[in-house]
Amino acid sequence: MSVLKSFIAGQWVGDTAAKALPSAINGQTVAHTHDDTLDFKKTVEYGRTVGGKNLMAMDFQERALALKAMAQYLQEHKKELYALSMHTGSTKGDNGIDIDGGFGTLFSYASMGRRELPSGNVVHEGPVTPLGKNNHFAGTHILVPRGGVAVHIDAYNFPVWGMLEKFAPTFLAGMPSIVKPATSTCYVTELAVRLMQESGALPEGSLQLIIGSTGDLFEHLEEQDVVTFTGSAATARKLRNHPNIINRSIPFNAEADSLNSAILAPDVTPEHEEFDIFVKEVGREMTAKAGQKCTAIRRVLVPKDQVDAVCDKLKERLSKITVGDPSVEGVRMGALASIDQMEDVKANIQELLKTSELVVGGEGNFKPTGEGTENGAFIEPHLLLCRNPENGCGAHDIEAFGPVATVVPYDSIEDAVDLCSKGRGSLVTTLTTRDPAIAGKIAPLLAAFHGRLHLLDAEAAKESTGHGSPLPMLKHGGPGRAGGGEELGGIRAVHHYLQRTAIQGSPSMLAAVTREYVRGADVIETEIHPFRRHFEDLQINESLLTHRRTVTEADIVNFGCLSGDHFYMHFDELAARESQFGKRIAHGYFVLSAAAGLFVSPGEGPVLANYGLDTLRFIEPVAPGDTIRARLTCKRKIDQGRTSPDGHPQGVVVWDVQVHNQNDELVASYDILTLVAKKPE
C-alpha cells in the first residue's frame, strides 16, 4: 500500500507509513500518511526565498498563462483523479463539482488575470487624487506582492477544488502557497499536486504540500504571511487565536461551515413552477457530495400552510435517491468521507431530534448499494421537521454535516428573515419567489447575515448554477458563524494577497511607481507620432499634442444629420438660451469624433484597432466658435501574449486622451484601448 508524501523544499518526502486512510466505500485502505518529521522552518524559508523569487521573476500576465497551462494539464488527466476520488464517496456528479470545478477555477483566474491585471507586479488602484492646488503633489494607491507565504488549510469535502480555489488567486498575486489538506481525503490532493508539478508550469517553490500535522508551522510565520482556513467554526477560532497569529497580526481568512437556508416565499404555491424548482434545489443540495458542502441547505424555511406540501414533495424526491458505491450504475449519492464523519452526523441527528421529528430517514431498513458497502461510511438522506420553532429549534445551532436538512415553518416573510438570522451568519441563502417586489424588499435584509444570496425563479432556473456552487467571479464567504472571511470574488481575491499602500508625490514620481501615465507628469514628445511605434518601442508617457480645430455651425448641423441626433440643445437656439448653458452646444460625441480626427495617424501602421473607451466624461460644453485640441498620451501597456488571427504578436495599449478648449479648460476626458502590433520577428 502506498505511502503519501509531502512535497517540501522541492522534494517528495515521506517513506514510513503512519495512519491508514480507508476508502469511504468499502473500508479498505487506500493509502497511508507518512510518519516522517518535516522541517517547517525550512519549508517556510524555502517558500519565501525560492518560491517567492521564482514567482516574482514572472509578472501577472505570465502567471495567468501558467495557471491556464496547469488547468489544461489537469484537464487531460482528470480520469486519474476521478478514479481515486471515488474512494472519498464521490459520484461522477460530485467529481464535476470538486475536480472539474477546481479546473474551472484555474481557467477563470487565468482569464481574469489576463483581462484585468497589468504587465509587471504593481497594480495601480486609482484614481490619482491631487493633494495640492496646482497638482504638484498628488496621491493614489498601489497593490504589490506581500513577499511572504500563504498557508492554506483545507477541508476534507473538496480535496481538489478546496485547494485550487485558494491557490489560483494566491499564485496570480505572486505569493507561494503551502497547502495542508484534511487528512481523510488528502490522497486526492496529493495526486493533484503531482499532476501540477508534472505540468511543467509550476515554478519551483510556488506550491508545497503537507501531508499530516502542521506541527510548529505557525511558529515560523511572519507579518508578511497569510493563513486561510476552511472547515468548522470551532477549528477556525482555535487557529485564529494562535499566539503567533495574534502577536504578529498575520492576516487570517476563515470560511467555516454554516447553517445555510432556502426560503420559499409566500407567493409560491404548489401550482407554480417555482414550487417544484424549490423542492428540486433542496433535494439536490441535500444529496450532492452526500450533503458534505459548506454551502449545503440545512434549514428549509416555508410558510406554515405549505409545510405538508413541501414535506410530501421532498419525501417523494428523496425516496428516488439510490445510495451506494458510485461505480455502480444508478447510484446517485455516495458515502460520507469517513466512518468518523458518519458517526458524527448520526450523533447530530439525534441532537436535532430533540426539537424536531423525522419525515424521511431512520426507518431502519437502509442498505447501501454495492459490494462491501456495509463497511463504508453511508447514511441515507434525513429530512426533519421542526413544527414549533418558537419553542426552540436545534437546526439554528446544530449542523449535521451530511444529507440532513430541517423544514422550519414561518408565519410571514419578515418572520422568515428573523429565523434565517438565527443561524448567526451564513454563506448563502436561496430565496425562491415569483415576485420581484418580495426580492427587492427581503434581499437587503437577508444580505446583512450572508455572503451570497441566490434569488431563484423560473427564469433564473434555466441557467442557475445552483444554491451550493460558489463561482470564481463572486465572493465566497460569510459573516459570523460562516467565518467572517472572503474568498474568490474575481480579482478581489487576488487583492487579498497583495499589500495595499498609499503613495504620495509629484505626478512624475507617481507615474514612475505605477508604471502608467499620471496627469501632470512630464510627457515625452518626439517627432514620431506615437501611433507609428510598435508595442515594444512605445514608452509610457509618450505623448502627442495635436493642432487646433474650431467648431463651426456646419459641424453641428452635419453631425446631427449624419447621426440622427437632433436634440434641442444642439439645434434650438431659444430653448438652449434658457438652459443652464445659456447657448447651443455641440454634441459630446462630435467632440469625441473631432478629437480622434486630430490625433489619429491615418496611414497603415502598428496600431491595429481601437476596441474600447473607458472613463469617458464630458466636462465642459463646447459651443460653435470654440477651438479644441487634444493630447494623446501612452498611459499603460499590457503584454497579454496575444496574437492576431494570422499569428502576428500584439499587445494592448491604453491611451489617455484630454481635450481642451481655447481657455485651456478640459472639455472631454477618456481612455482609449488599442491593439498594437509588435515588431516582425
Same domain, 264 and 150: no
**Residue 229 maps to a domain:** yes
Summarize the confidence of residues 92-120 as an average pLDDT. Answer: 90
User: What span, in angstroms and rounded, lies between the C-alpha atoms of 350 and 261?
Assistant: 20
For residue 659, pLDDT over 90 is answered with yes
The sign of the dihedral angle between the CA atoms of 249, 251, 257, 263 is: positive
Same domain, 598 and 527: yes
For residue 507, pLDDT over 60 is answered with yes
Summarize the confidence of residues 88-109 as an average pLDDT. Answer: 90
Domain count, the chain: 3
Same domain, 234 and 272: no
What are the residue numbers of the active site? 255, 294
Same domain, 98 and 74: yes
Same domain, 226 and 265: no
For residue 500, pLDDT over 60 is answered with yes
Same domain, 171 and 211: yes
* Domain ranges, residue 614: 523-677
Please, which residues have CB within 8 angstroms of residue 539's CB and are 6 or more apart in sequence? 524, 634
**Residue 135 maps to a domain:** no
**Residue 488 maps to a domain:** no
For residue 641, pLDDT over 80 is answered with no
**Residue 498 maps to a domain:** no
pTM (two decimals): 0.88
Q: Are 202 and 102 in contact (CB under 8 A)?
A: no
The letter for the amino acid at 343 is: E
**Residue 642 maps to a domain:** yes
For residue 325, pLDDT over 90 is answered with no
Cα-to-chain-centroid distance, residue 126: 22
Write out the three cell numbers for 557.
448641423
For residue 544, pLDDT over 70 is answered with yes
Q: What does the DSSP assignment read for 540-570?
A: TTBEEE---EE--HHHHHHHHHHH----HHH
Same domain, 310 and 248: no
Q: Supply the CATH number for residue 101's domain.
A: 3.40.605.10
661/639: higher pLDDT: 661
pLDDT value at position 572?
Answer: 80
Same domain, 281 and 154: no
User: What span, in angstroms and rounded, lies between the C-alpha atoms of 96 and 104?
Assistant: 10
**Residue 44 maps to a domain:** yes
Q: Are 329 and 373 in contact (CB under 8 A)?
A: no
The letter for the amino acid at 76 is: E
Q: Supply the CATH number for residue 671's domain.
A: 3.10.129.10
Same domain, 109 and 221: yes
For residue 1, pLDDT over 60 is answered with no
For residue 318, pLDDT over 80 is answered with yes
Q: Pick from 255, 278, 296: which residue ends a domain?
A: 255
Same domain, 25 and 153: yes
Q: Supply the CATH number for residue 272's domain.
A: 3.40.309.10
How confident is the model over 465-497, as pLDDT tens digits?
Answer: 888 888 888 888 888 888 888 888 889 999 999
**Residue 482 maps to a domain:** no
pLDDT value at position 116?
Answer: 87
Same domain, 279 and 196: no
Q: 270-284, 358-372, 653-667: lowest mean pLDDT where?
A: 358-372
Q: Pick from 233, 255, 277: which residue ends a domain?
A: 255
Report how far apart, in Å, the C-alpha atoms of 179 and of each of 27, 145, 189, 232, 336 are.
26, 19, 9, 17, 23
Q: 434-443, 580-589, 615-624: lowest mean pLDDT where?
A: 580-589
**Interhelix angle for 161-172 vs 186-198, to 10°?**
40
Instruction: Using DSSP, state whether 28 is helix, strand or coil.
Output: coil
Same domain, 566 and 666: yes
Summarize the confidence of residues 23-48 as an average pLDDT. Answer: 90
For residue 581, pLDDT over 90 is answered with no
**Residue 139 maps to a domain:** no
Q: Are 128 and 525 in contact (CB under 8 A)?
A: no
Q: Pick from 471, 487, 510: which residue ends a domain?
A: 471
DSSP summary character for residue 98: I
What percent of the chain has pLDDT above 70?
100
How confident is the model over 212-269, as pLDDT tens digits?
Answer: 888 899 999 999 999 999 888 888 888 888 999 999 999 998 888 889 999 999 999 9
